[in-house]
Amino acid sequence: MTPPKNGMIGPPAVEGRSKRIWRRDDGTCTVELIPSLRSHTFDRDELVPATARLRLDFYERAARALHACGIRTVFRQRLGETTYLADYVPAPPFEVIVKNRSVGSTLRKYPGLFPEGHVFRPAVVKFDFRTDPEDQPIGEDYLWAYGVDVEEFRRIARERNDCLRKWLEPLDLWDFCLIIGPNPEGDLIINSEISPDCMRLRDHQGHSLDKDLFRQGASHEHIVSVWSELVGRLPARPRRTARSPFPPEDARTAVLDILEGCGVPHDWHASILRAVELTGRYRFADEDLDDGCAIAAAVHDADNLDAMGAIGIGRAFAYGGLLGEPLWDPATALKDVYQEGETSSVLAHLYEKLVRLEQDMLTEPARRMAADRALQLRRFAAGFRSEWDSGQPAASRVRWDPRTRYLSVAEPRDDADEPLVRVSFRGRAWLTFDEQGQPAAVHLPDAPDLLATDVRIALSQERPHHHIEGTADIELHLRKNHPVALQLHLWSR
């Protein structure tokens, strides 16, 4: 028997005043919000119809806004009016409160220290121990003793604060609380709802748009009216402002919105979501690739092909410019195992990731297309490095870079008046080296037919010591059908 889509089978594993949680076997959970509002300070605890739906309306958009900043939450997708699917992350016994202004507990617990509305720069971050009937401030030394990296939690809280404040402009976020916990991989992510129930939010006239309405005695109808108007003002599609890549797993909500909006049958959703998740995974980054799903394999390959060839080069330099990365830094070592994040230079990214994508294709048509685009990438890299090296002092005619297995033999200047023909191809290459590890000769047995014979180029008079061979992407420069220069990347043995 297939379980219900919402996963709400039997009694909930956790039930509190504001939500119920059902655990799932795949590490996720179904969460149902309860339309309750509570204030210990003002001694008010009531069920307010429609507020659960409005809280989830707000939370769904807030999760998207944080994802657009490259920040993960447990939220995955909405399942119903008051239910959603989330990653299951156990909550720690404390919460994190971020205060941009003095309000609430700051005024009650420290009377006269700050006037109401005093602006904190930077935002104050404090911690409360979660206990009934009212959460209590907890000293940071206790948290350190408990094993909490207080400074990391503070950094995370302020980063989330910056993202939410920018998203909510021109509204003013006075304070909010978060619960942050480690997922199974040890990453700290937001495990709590983000809504008017757990923040103070004011409009430009200073009017409350949050649970302060409930604390101040507003009617149920007024609270629902203000919150409905608030949700209507929120941007449904936040503009991405972060410079970090958008993780595929965090795109689930946006993808599901598109699928629902386009009327794609629900039976297809799982395969399409799997396809999205498979993008951004690479064997050369020591990750597993599951090619059992044809749709996922095709999307994975299409995504990688977009990063190769001429357009891929343009994308790499555009994004590298956004990050402020240098064009090339020959002195910096390349990564043996690819890792997401900023690289030492844009050309290093080409070597560390883009040219490796050819070996990660899962379908035969993509492998054929990737071979041509990888040739374009290496041809561009060769041209770039040829120009770069020509501007360096004491440039040598022969350059060999063992890191990238790149060989350049510069063109002589004495016959530059003759027409130059450039021939690019992929084929076998034999490189002979002397005792000092410098190239002594090149043999290209798969040269194009127009040369009528294979190509052999002597690079020095030193005695041969050893050689390496493999497949190379090659560009030959010909004058009068005679090789005068070459550039090649040897990429397999």
pLDDT digits (tens, 9 = 90+) for 255-304: 887 888 888 888 888 888 878 877 777 777 667 776 578 888 888 899 89
**Rounded mean pLDDT of 471-492?**
87
Q: Say what the pLDDT of residue 291 is.
A: 57
* DSSP letter, residue 465: -
**In the prediction, which pLDDT does 392 show?**
62
User: For residue 370, what pLDDT is reported?
Assistant: 95
DSSP element (H, E) containing 215 = helix 212-215
Which residues are CB-neighbours of 411 under 8 A, at least 6 positions away? 420, 477, 484, 485
User: Which of 69-83, 114-128, 228-242 has the highest average model confidence (pLDDT)?
Assistant: 114-128
Q: What is the pLDDT of residue 446?
A: 87
Whether the per-residue pLDDT at 49 is higher than 50: the answer is yes
Residue 126 has pLDDT above 70, yes or no: yes
Tell me the three state secondary structure of residue 369: helix
pLDDT-derived band of residue 333, with 50, 70 and 90 as boundaries? confident
> Does the pLDDT at position 346 exceed 80?
yes
What is d(CA 448, CA 423) in angstroms, rounded to the nearest whole number?
Answer: 8
For residue 106, pLDDT beyond 90: yes
Query: Tens digit of pLDDT for each residue in 431-469?
Result: 999 999 999 999 999 887 777 678 888 888 888 999 999
Mean per-residue pLDDT of the chain? 87
Spatial separation of the C-alpha atoms in residues 120 and 98, rounded to whole Å: 10
Stretch among 9-18, 48-57, 113-122, 281-290 having the lowest mean pLDDT: 281-290
Structural domains in the chain, sorted by start: 14-256 (3.30.470.20), 265-387 (1.20.58.1910), 396-492 (no CATH)
pLDDT digits (tens, 9 = 90+) for 152-167: 999 999 999 999 999 9
| Bridge partners for 96 per DSSP | 127, 178
What is the pTM (predicted TM-score) of this model? 0.53
How many angstroms separate the CA atoms of 23 and 128, rounded?
A: 26
- Close Cβ partners of 383 (under 8 Å, ≥ 6 residues apart): 475, 487
What value, to the nearest 5°, has the Cα angle with vertex 456 and ends 450 and 461? 155
Q: Which amino acid is at 480?
A: K
Contact 197, 211 (CB under 8 A): yes
Helices (H) and strands (E) in the chain, counts: 12, 21
Please report, rounded to a whole number, the percentage of residues in the chain having pLDDT higher than 70: 91
The whole-angstrom separation of Cα 113 and Cα 106 is: 8
Which among 317, 303, 387 has a CA at the least distance from the CA of 350?
A: 317
pLDDT tens, 210-247?
Answer: 999 999 999 999 999 999 999 998 875 544 444 455 56
Residues 4-28 pLDDT 10s:
445 667 889 889 889 999 999 888 9
Q: From CA 244, how far away is CA 342, in angstroms rounded?
A: 9
Contacts of 239 (CB under 8 A, 6+ apart): 68
Residue 397 — pLDDT band, cuts 50, 70, 90? confident
Q: Which string of DSSP letters, residue by residue, matches 306-344?
A: HTSHHHHHHHHHHHHHHHT--S--TTSPPPSS--SS--S
Rounded to whole angstroms, the Cα distance separating 275 from 293 reads 8
- Greater confidence, 247 or 107? 107
Rounded to whole angstroms, the Cα distance separating 407 from 193 reads 56
Residue 220's Cβ-count burial label (10 Å; 0-12, 13-18, 19+) is middle
- Residue 310's pLDDT band, with cuts at 50, 70 and 90, is very high
Which amino acid, residue 264?
A: V
Task: Compute the CA torsion angle 138, 144, 145, 148 (nearest 10 deg).
Answer: 90
Q: What is the CA radius of gyration of the chain?
A: 30
Asked if the model's pLDDT at residue 177 lies above 90, the reply is yes
Q: What is the pLDDT at residue 274?
A: 79
CA distances from 270 to 180, 295, 422 (A): 28, 10, 48
Across the range 381-409, mean pLDDT stands at 82
Helices 266-278 + 252-261 axis angle, to 10 = 140
